[in-house]
A and B are shown apart, each in its own frame.
Chain A
């Protein structure tokens, strides 16, 4: 397999450059989620579109749920994705991760695995280089154990 420089950079951006938000005492996950979004967007309400989350409808294992995020962007010096914040609004601490990108990242895509305590929304907010913000939200169901068949 050969990777172009662009692809290789994209991969490293996703793999290396993320920062876990400091855990906080959970008082109300919904309020905390709201506050985290406001802090990230500078008070603006994020628009829909551009950012898309890739999550399973039902988690196979709530302890390690694969979550992917991608943002449509030309990723040029004057128009790129600066960062993407991931939140889980039903966890004791909603903050999951913030991925940082530059135009050199080539593409704004990242994947990680997160723990979900129960059925809840996973939220991704992308901040563009011009300061505009976009949001996607997906519900991920965490089941006790199935009886399908």
Chain B
């Protein structure tokens, strides 16, 4: 059944020796061949250690559509460098043919028509097939590492407090994980879940707030194929800022690069020949960290959802970005000799769900954890005539839908919707199901508030979020996208400083300028403040869809880019 689609592929594979900067050779190794499971998964084993990395699955057990961003701006030193390259520029940089499977997997170019050709991606049963095959090829030489944001992002994960994902992931036998959205289940649930895990949850940068002491296991030494490998875990540094601090009042995070440097030293002292940072810092933070902390061989980065077909090499550190939502699995073969990486081969494996055979055992397990919710998941609540997606710096159509629902259902002048990077896509002409809606908003603090804010306060919020995204120093970036706005337009100049980026704020209904001194009715959701009141955002959107069952979204022109 998986050979019905006949198409060409550019193998997402490359290899190079360390020290050559952003290792080229992508084009040379690009082999046009029939897309088959074997072509996607086969790789000549190299060296004595294989790291398998998956991250930011956001609780997506089943195959899905996920449109990569068309705008992902880099500021300052990282302008124009991966991952701040999108669309046609991305295809050019990595020599990927337009219209090819890799073009579909890695960019937003021609997304809708390619989605129809190549089908859905991901699915943890397909991921299982990949992992099991690598494990059978590499045996004891492999480590499976989960970068976190695994337990949140779907209807079933929210209902089971992440237990559905824990069940499936445990069956894949990871060696370690770290986290971010995991913490939004609150201290008690996180502790209970972590204590039951058959592998360590590592967090070098998580401290006990009261005593200012490390609260989690920071790193662990593994021995694989006779090689000692240290894995240091780094949770999302700004979890208590970007997400509700009141849910985890006893824990403090932060980048704490001096702690990472300390653990690298400890690991080397204890004989580690390979040092790996399993990180949820976000790409730019990890790129800076790699330039400042010596002795890390590999950073498996996560959080910012970037999928790059080649490692970025910084200060002799291979930085690997494995995408999100189960769309990709990274395989990094390393030749470790005398405590150094002598060579490597890397492959970002795109999980084409129609090509890779589902693993029967994991497929059955997924069906089992979803069975209690199957009817509700499949319930149709509308249809869409336009593509629904979220990723991108400024707006996404799924957020436009959410903002419309907030404006109308909460009778507001302005709507704010957070710029999360998770949330799946729905193709034009498709039904919108309960599952689709919850993929865009499943969380433990969904209250849709309605409040009065001055024009100045609204500007301050936009400036604050803008600085989280566009601060020139990556250590001050939090890794989300810009807050989405309904009912209001504005101009943003990302290269300016905080307080000066946002201008021309305009109330769309009347065309008048936003008055800093005047109050406006604002509706939004996902407030990090304790005690936020309002209906759950999914109920707001479902009510809106029940009155407006066919979604048509005009091109959103309300955010203008300056500078």
A146-B478, A147-B419, A148-B238 known; A60+B243 contact, CB < 8 A: no
Mask of A110-149 contacts with B, CB within 8 angstroms, 1/0: 0100000001000000000000000000000101111111
| A5 smallest CB distance to B (angstroms) | 22
Contact B421 A60 (CB under 8 A): no
CB nearest to B471 among chain A residues: A141
Give residues of chain A (57-90) contacting chain B, Cβ–Cβ below 8 Å: 57-58, 60-61, 66
Contact B418 A149 (CB under 8 A): yes
Mask of B337-361 contacts with A, CB within 8 angstroms, 1/0: 0000000000000000000000000
A146-B241, A149-B420 known; A66+B476 contact, CB < 8 A: no
Please count the residue pairs between chain A and chain B whose beta carbons lie under 8 angstroms apart in the complex.
77
Contact A148 B475 (CB under 8 A): no
Contact A145 B529 (CB under 8 A): yes
Cα of A44 to Cα of B106 in the assembled complex, Å: 57
Contact A148 B241 (CB under 8 A): yes
* Contact pick for A58, options B181, B241, B258, B418, CB 8 Å: B241
Cα of A149 to Cα of B479 in the assembled complex, Å: 6
A146-B478, A149-B480 known; A60+B245 contact, CB < 8 A: yes
Q: Is A43 an interface residue (CB 8 A)?
A: no
Q: Is A42 an interface residue (CB 8 A)?
A: no
Give residues of chain B (462-491) contacting chain A, Cβ–Cβ below 8 Å: 464-465, 467-468, 473, 475-476, 478-480, 483
Contact B254 A56 (CB under 8 A): yes
Cα of A58 to Cα of B282 in the assembled complex, Å: 15
Q: Is B253 an interface residue (CB 8 A)?
A: yes
Cα of A2 to Cα of B420 in the assembled complex, Å: 47
Cα of A56 to Cα of B245 in the assembled complex, Å: 15
Please indicate the chain A residues that have their CB under 8 angstroms from the CB of B258 in the complex. Answer: 54
Contact A57 B476 (CB under 8 A): yes
Please indicate the chain A residues that have their CB under 8 angstroms from the CB of B461 in the complex. Answer: 144-145
| A148 smallest CB distance to B (angstroms) | 3
Please indicate the chain B residues that have their CB under 8 angstroms from the CB of A145 in the complex. Answer: 241, 461, 464, 527-529
| A128 smallest CB distance to B (angstroms) | 23
Q: Give the contact-size bracket for chain A.
A: 10 to 19
Please indicate the chain A residues that have their CB under 8 angstroms from the CB of B498 in the complex. Answer: 119
Contact B242 A148 (CB under 8 A): yes
Please indicate the chain B residues that have their CB under 8 angstroms from the CB of A146 in the complex. Answer: 238, 241-243, 465, 468, 478, 480, 528
A58-B241, A147-B242 known; A141+B252 contact, CB < 8 A: no
Contact B479 A57 (CB under 8 A): no
Please indicate the chain B residues that have their CB under 8 angstroms from the CB of A143 in the complex. Answer: 241, 464, 468
Please indicate the chain A residues that have their CB under 8 angstroms from the CB of B418 in the complex. Answer: 147, 149
- Tally of contact residues, B, Cβ under 8 A: 39
| A100 smallest CB distance to B (angstroms) | 22
Give residues of chain B (214-250) contacting chain A, Cβ–Cβ below 8 Å: 236-238, 240-243, 245
CB nearest to A60 among chain B residues: B240
Q: Is B398 an interface residue (CB 8 A)?
A: no
Please indicate the chain B residues that have their CB under 8 angstroms from the CB of A57 in the complex. Answer: 237, 254-255, 473, 475-476
Please indicate the chain A residues that have their CB under 8 angstroms from the CB of B245 in the complex. Answer: 60-61
Cα of A54 to Cα of B254 in the assembled complex, Å: 11
Interface centre among B241, B245, B478, B528 (most CB of A within 10 A): B241
Cα of A144 to Cα of B468 in the assembled complex, Å: 11
Q: Is B422 an interface residue (CB 8 A)?
A: yes
| A121 smallest CB distance to B (angstroms) | 14
Please indicate the chain A residues that have their CB under 8 angstroms from the CB of B467 in the complex. Answer: 141
CB nearest to B251 among chain A residues: A60
Cα of A119 to Cα of B497 in the assembled complex, Å: 13
CB nearest to B528 among chain A residues: A145
Please indicate the chain B residues that have their CB under 8 angstroms from the CB of A61 in the complex. Answer: 240, 245
CB nearest to B479 among chain A residues: A148
CB nearest to B480 among chain A residues: A148
CB nearest to A148 among chain B residues: B242
Mask of B525-548 contacts with A, CB within 8 angstroms, 1/0: 011110000000000000000000
Interface residues of B (CB under 8 A from A): 180-181, 212, 236-238, 240-243, 245, 252-255, 258, 418-422, 460-461, 464-465, 467-468, 473, 475-476, 478-480, 483, 498, 526-529
Interface residues of A (CB under 8 A from B): 54, 56-58, 60-61, 66, 111, 119, 141, 143-149
> What are 13 of the A-B contact pairs (CB < 8 Å)?
A54-B258, A57-B237, A57-B255, A61-B240, A61-B245, A144-B461, A144-B464, A145-B241, A146-B468, A146-B528, A147-B468, A149-B242, A149-B243
Given contacts A147-B242, A147-B420, 19 further A-B contacts (CB under 8 A): A57-B254, A58-B478, A60-B241, A60-B254, A111-B212, A119-B498, A145-B461, A145-B464, A146-B238, A146-B468, A146-B528, A147-B465, A147-B468, A147-B526, A148-B241, A149-B180, A149-B243, A149-B419, A149-B479
Which 8 A-B pairs rank lowest in CB-CB distance, beginning with the nearest?
A148-B242, A148-B478, A146-B242, A148-B480, A147-B418, A149-B420, A144-B464, A60-B240
